[in-house]
Structure 1
Amino acid sequence: MSNPVPGVKHLIAVASGKGGVGKSTTTTNLAMALANTGARVGILDADLYGPSQPRMLNLSGLPDTTDGKILKPMVGHGIQTMSIGFLVDDESPIIWRGPMITQALTRLVYETHWDNLDYLIVDMPPGTGDIHLTMAQKMPVSGAVIVTTPQDIALLDARKGLKMFEKVNVPVLGIIENMSTHVCGHCGHEEHIFGEGGARKMAEEAGTELLGELPLDIRIRTGSDSGQPVLVTDPDGTLAAAYQSIATRVVHELEAREKAKSESASTRAMPEIVME
């Protein structure tokens, strides 16, 4: 049974079956795109073994606390953020077994003072392990977004992640294809270097949405490494527009599912009365 997260309306998991597909970068830019719509947005860095959100949002130091127990999220580019990376040294590995990692995740979620968030975006670790099960079974996840590249091996693992969410009854809002194409910075030639159409086919097979396709672009990588995401450095550019379009589709899918859920509950609550 999941418990509501105080101060959070919707919790959205961003996941990938495989590492290295740009999940954390996508999480950061998706959160900022949602914030651009006027929503209050936060990020929970649930990749406890490899936290990256502090660097991507140019945040460092220890979070403040008012009572010694509840942490205040740190704010980067307007995004409320909590990460284990704030609490450990950058180069110190997290060497914890399953029970310790799930306890740490639970505390980061419920012992952070989230301030009236419309969306808490959860940057999940790769794979389908303890963190994923804890999040799906014990927390009110409104929906999941799967990030993949067009590469066959990445799609194979992404399907596993999608199936995992289906098994634990977490709705998959859609799939984002990252590194969809590469455009040469010198001649403008566009090439599908990791394959073409894989995420679209996967979405069709799974009966879910292709939320968008993002290019392999050096500006996305340098923005993440410098803590200056592309939505900050070039808010009116084509890359920002691509993330903004994905954010709009995520909200649309979430609202549609919430509406369907509400209508279903209303129907069940009103039994038909037959007079004879």
Structure 2
Amino acid sequence: MDEQGLLTRLPASIAGRVQSIRQAEGTVTLVIDATGLDAATREAFQTACRDILGEAEGVETVRVAMMADKARRRIIAIGSGKGGVGKSTLTANLAAALHKMGRKVGLVDADIYGPSQPMLMSTGGAKPQAKDEQLLPVISPLGIPMLSMGHLVEPGKALAWRGPMAGNAFGQLVDADWGDTEILLLDLPPGTGDVQLSMLQKHKPDGAIIVSTPQDLALIDAQRAANLFDSGKVPIIGLVENMAGYACPHCGEVSDPFGRGGVEAAAEGTGIPFLGRIPLALAIRAASDAGEPPAAGDAPEGEAFTAIARQLAEWLDTPQGAGA
């Protein structure tokens, strides 16, 4: 069996990371990009390669080299068609969950006019330094590097910038010195304006997640965001339904003040994966206001975020997510 035939025997999550494969005299040698993989996953990949390829005809020995000395940074945009749907809260919790999984993740608050990540990540008083004309990210208490326009202007000060100025500011945040960061989450402003256009032109994401609440108006705006990513040939990883279900803290009865299932139905109608729903919960609001993303801990309110982050991590390990 030739090298290509051996490669097709491997799962997509592994095959997408194979940098080279060579077979000679019964020995198969693979070089696998281990960027972003924790120790347990690297060991599991090595074992899988040996077990699967070791069964191929003519293969006597399988050697696996895991290489991660060159970072391949991937950009994931989290967007919405309108404001107030919980996009920033989702982004902060995805960053916290990925960091907890051992991924080298960074966060850019690209909402130039209404930055909220400094509060959500407890970095409100931090000021980034600069080196060689590049900004150096601030580090959140969780250990996540991040940058926001909220770190560069006085708290509460309004920004009255024209579109090109906002686009340039966004570029400075993304082009910062992110070191060995491998996944950069972009918390986009609502809508489809200048920042989004600058993103598509100069910092095209590897994938996008769209957030919406269940009501029809929000779904219409979310479809506009999806159309923007489609026009830029950015893969849409999936849709998330936020504020879906409110459990009364007194009686426990669950109600749906904003409706339920609209985003999932929209996902089915468009063929876009549905990643899950986030409940409307007082605990999530309180933790967010305190700058403590629920996904960073073990509280029940963090589970929905972690489940979505896990799907994002799995997508990043596919050939499409890995840029293969």
The alignment status of 1:13 with 2:77, answered yes or no, reads yes
TM-score, normalised relative to structure 2 = 0.75
Q: Is the 8 A contact 2:135 2:172 kept in 1?
A: no
Q: How many Å apart are 1:255 and its aligned residue?
A: 3.0
Map of 2:303 onto structure 1:
241
2:169 aligns with one of 104, 112, 115:
104
Offset from partner CA, 1:185-230 (integer Å, 9 cap, x none) = 1111011221121011111122111111110001111111111221
Whole-angstrom CA distance in 1 between matches of 2:101 and 2:146: 18
SS of 2:182 mapped into structure 1: strand
Identity within the alignment, %: 42
1:126 aligns with one of 173, 185, 190:
190
Assess, with a 3 A threshold, how the Cα gap between structure 1 residues 54 and 259 changes in structure 2: closer, same or farther.
closer
Map of 2:315 onto structure 1:
253
Map of 1:3 onto structure 2:
none
Assess, with a 3 A threshold, how the Cα gap between structure 1 residues 240 and 177 changes in structure 2: closer, same or farther.
same
Tell me which of the two structures has the higher relative contact order, counting C-alpha pairs closer than 8 angstroms and 6 or more residues apart.
1
Q: Could you list the structure 1 runs, at least 4 aligned residues long, displaced by more than 6 angstroms after superposition.
A: none
Q: One-letter code of the match for 2:318?
A: A
Q: How many Å apart are 1:260 and its aligned residue?
A: 9.0
Map of 2:274 onto structure 1:
210
Q: How many Å apart are 1:261 and its aligned residue?
A: 6.0
Q: Is the 8 A contact 2:316 2:322 kept in 1?
A: no
Q: One-letter code of the match for 1:102?
A: G
Unpaired runs of at least 5, structure 1: 1-5, 263-276
SS of 1:82 mapped into structure 2: strand
Whole-angstrom CA distance in 1 between matches of 2:268 and 2:286: 33
Q: Is the 8 A contact 1:82 1:108 kept in 2?
A: yes
Map of 1:167 onto structure 2:
231
Whole-angstrom CA distance in 1 between matches of 2:323 and 2:172: 29
Q: How many Å apart are 1:7 and its aligned residue?
A: 6.0
Unpaired runs of at least 5, structure 2: 1-69
1:227 aligns with one of 291, 295, 299:
291
Q: How many Å apart are 1:165 and its aligned residue?
A: 0.5
2:156 aligns with one of 64, 84, 91:
91
Q: Is the 8 A contact 1:173 1:254 kept in 2?
A: no
Map of 1:62 onto structure 2:
127
Offset from partner CA, 1:36-91 (integer Å, 9 cap, x none) = 11101111000000011111111123112334x22211111121100111110111
TM-score, normalised relative to structure 1 = 0.87
Rg comparison, structure with higher value: 2
Assess, with a 3 A threshold, how the Cα gap between structure 1 residues 72 and 49 changes in structure 2: closer, same or farther.
same
Offset from partner CA, 1:13-38 (integer Å, 9 cap, x none) = 00000100111011000111111111
